């Protein structure tokens, strides 16, 4: 466990972020392997099917997984306030909620997959494979939710290393199973899906084993789980807006997928591949944002607001340096990176344009995410939600429709940074207003002299 309420802010954030970053590298590699294996061994139609499936799956799980941010923030605040009883109550409540939520998502996913894919205008040749891929992935919802619940709790406690170890194991297993099921057994996209499900189940099993043997705050015992309504209410107040934000992002991605799908299989395959690379490029900002939420939660809980301000400065500097270097790498190597997924010249050309247009603006994206991470950690979740509505639904989607009418797929790509610019400005303005400082659930009030002494 890591206490982020003392010591160097920059050092604390950096060393908390690094394991999460490495873990998410493996998480994205986890997803990327499916696309690389499918794209190279099964072709661009199968790659398009996997890409369309991702947006549907993201929509189904976005609301629930966004809610887990409420768990992370509450655990961080209770940890900062040294309240071990409420840490355990928060964990128990999260496990119970996510179990029933996983069952609901699985049932709804099975029943609505075909209708949603048709609504997305998925090319007819890709439809059967997309349905197969999704139906199999939905069987692993409980394991996926369970792992993410454990990871959310551990992040709140300042432990970002254990989720890393579990993801490394799951990713390596996924690579082996992908090659075995797709290349050796010739199971097609079904093989890629089963590889993912089995790997998720293995990571969840490892997470439960760790909690029950090594963690002194939380244990997962079905007979001892207790649901706390008050904790659940606080968690929903923080997590539900984040979940709604994730749902809006997921539905926005579905709309973009439909717009891209209107340009054919080549465009959809290129969007799938470039999106996987995009996810890699955005990871540092997302992880620093998660670190800022834990850092802010612990320090708000301990009554150390000045540390939050200094931590934000450190987080912004880190994210800007990393995202600047990432932009340079993506721009210089856009074509060979796209070639990893599929050798079709048109797919590579369209994807290269995506990376060249979007990659220039990673620094804007990273700034927006880091500031939103501070707001969530303080318990202010409505501001990022409203920010998403503005950036995605008021700016990006209308711009994608308008720009694509005269610039084709390049117009869709330009709409993405347009939304980021507006979202970044809105987040900065809200943070400057200072309302986030009074939104905490658990706070240990500190003498003014002590707080001032840290400035």
pLDDT tens sequence across 180-217: 998 888 888 889 889 989 998 998 998 888 888 877 77
The encoded tokens of residue 135 equal 């139906």
Q: Would you say 342 and 44 are in contact if contact means Cβ atoms under 8 Å apart? A: yes
Average of per-residue pLDDT values in the chain: 82
pLDDT of residue 439: 58
Is it the case that residue 422 has pLDDT exceeding 90? Answer: yes
The encoded tokens of residue 332 equal 């210089």
End-to-end CA distance of the chain: 25
pLDDT (tens digit per residue) in 244-276:
777 787 788 778 888 988 888 888 888 888 887
Can you spell out the DSSP letters for 193-251? HHHHHHHHHHHHHHHHHHHHHH-SS----TTT----HHHHHHHHHHHHHHHHHHHHHHH
CA 420 to CA 329: how far, in whole Å? 20
To 5 degrees, how large is the angle CA 107–CA 109–CA 111?
A: 70
Q: Would you say 352 and 338 are in contact if contact means Cβ atoms under 8 Å apart? A: yes
Burial 85-109 (b: 16+ CB within 10 A, else e): ebbbbbbbbbbbbbeebbeebbeeb
Q: Would you say 219 and 227 are in contact if contact means Cβ atoms under 8 Å apart? A: no
pLDDT of residue 384: 82
pLDDT of residue 1: 56
pLDDT of residue 321: 93
The encoded tokens of residue 278 equal 């995009």
* Residue 27, burial from CB neighbour count under 10 angstroms (0-12, 13-18, 19+): buried
Is it the case that residue 74 has pLDDT exceeding 50? Answer: yes
pLDDT (tens digit per residue) in 353-383:
999 999 999 999 999 999 998 888 887 777 8
Find tokens 């963690």 and name the residue: 215
Q: Comparing 1 with 111, which gets the higher pLDDT? A: 111
CA 307 to CA 377: how far, in whole Å? 13
pLDDT of residue 242: 75
Is it the case that residue 346 has pLDDT exceeding 50? Answer: yes
Closest to 249 (Cα-Cα) out of 437, 63, 51, 444: 63
Is it the case that residue 120 has pLDDT exceeding 60? Answer: yes
pLDDT (tens digit per residue) in 14-63:
887 887 777 767 666 666 676 778 777 887 777 777 777 776 777 677 66
Q: Would you say 177 and 198 are in contact if contact means Cβ atoms under 8 Å apart? A: yes
pLDDT of residue 449: 41
Is residue 446 very low, low, confident or very high in pLDDT (cuts 50, 70, 90)? very low
Is it the case that residue 448 has pLDDT exceeding 60? Answer: no
CA 22 to CA 241: how far, in whole Å? 27
Q: Comparing 370 with 387, which gets the higher pLDDT? A: 370
- Can you give the pTM of this predicted structure? 0.67
């Amino acid at each position: 466990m890591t206490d982020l309420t003392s010591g160097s802010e920059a050092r604390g954030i950096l060393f908390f972020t690094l394991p999460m970053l490495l873990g998410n590298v493996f998480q994205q590699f986890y997803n990327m392997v499916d696309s690389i294996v499918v794209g190279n061994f099964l072709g661009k139609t199968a790659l398009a099917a996997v890409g369309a499936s991702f947006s549907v799956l993201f929509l189904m799980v976005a609301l629930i997984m966004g809610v887990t941010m409420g768990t992370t923030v509450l655990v961080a605040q209770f940890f900062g306030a040294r309240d071990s009883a409420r840490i355990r109550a928060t964990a128990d409540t999260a496990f119970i909620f996510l179990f029933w939520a996983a069952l609901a998502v699985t049932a709804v996913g099975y029943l609505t997959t075909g209708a949603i894919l048709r609504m997305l205008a998925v090319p007819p040749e890709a439809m059967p494979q997309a349905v197969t891929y999704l139906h199999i992935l939905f069987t692993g919802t409980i394991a996926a939710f369970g792992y993410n619940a454990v990871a959310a709790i551990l992040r709140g406690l300042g432990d970002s290393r254990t989720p890393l170890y579990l993801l490394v194991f799951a990713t390596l297993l996924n690579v082996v199973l992908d090659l075995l099921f797709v290349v050796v057994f010739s199971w097609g996209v079904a093989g890629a899906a089963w590889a993912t499900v089995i790997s998720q189940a293995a990571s969840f099993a490892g997470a439960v084993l760790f909690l029950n043997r090594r963690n002194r705050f939380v244990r997962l015992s079905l007979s001892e789980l207790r649901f706390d309504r008050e904790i659940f209410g606080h968690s929903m107040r923080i997590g539900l807006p984040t979940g709604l934000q994730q749902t809006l992002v997921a539905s926005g991605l579905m709309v973009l997928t439909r717009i891209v799908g209107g340009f054919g299989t080549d465009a959809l395959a290129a969007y799938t591949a470039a999106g996987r690379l995009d996810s890699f490029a955005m990871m540092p900002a997302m992880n620093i944002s998660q670190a800022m939420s834990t850092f802010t939660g612990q320090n708000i809980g301990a009554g150390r607001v000045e540390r939050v301000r200094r931590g934000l400065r450190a987080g912004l500097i880190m994210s800007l340096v990393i995202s600047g270097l990432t932009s340079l790498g993506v721009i210089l190597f856009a074509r060979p990176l796209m070639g990893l997924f599929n050798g079709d010249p048109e797919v590579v050309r369209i994807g290269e344009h995506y990376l060249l247009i979007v990659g220039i603006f990673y620094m804007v994206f990273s700034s927006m995410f880091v500031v939103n991470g501070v707001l969530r950690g303080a318990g202010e979740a409505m501001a990022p939600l409203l920010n998403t509505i503005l950036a995605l639904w008021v700016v990006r989607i209308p711009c994608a429709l308008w720009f694509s009418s005269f610039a084709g797929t390049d117009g869709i790509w330009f709409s993405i940074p347009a939304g980021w610019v507006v979202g970044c400005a809105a987040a900065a303005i809200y943070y400057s207003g200072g309302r986030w400082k009074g939104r905490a659930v658990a706070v240990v009030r500190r003498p003014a002299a002590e707080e001032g002494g840290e400035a």
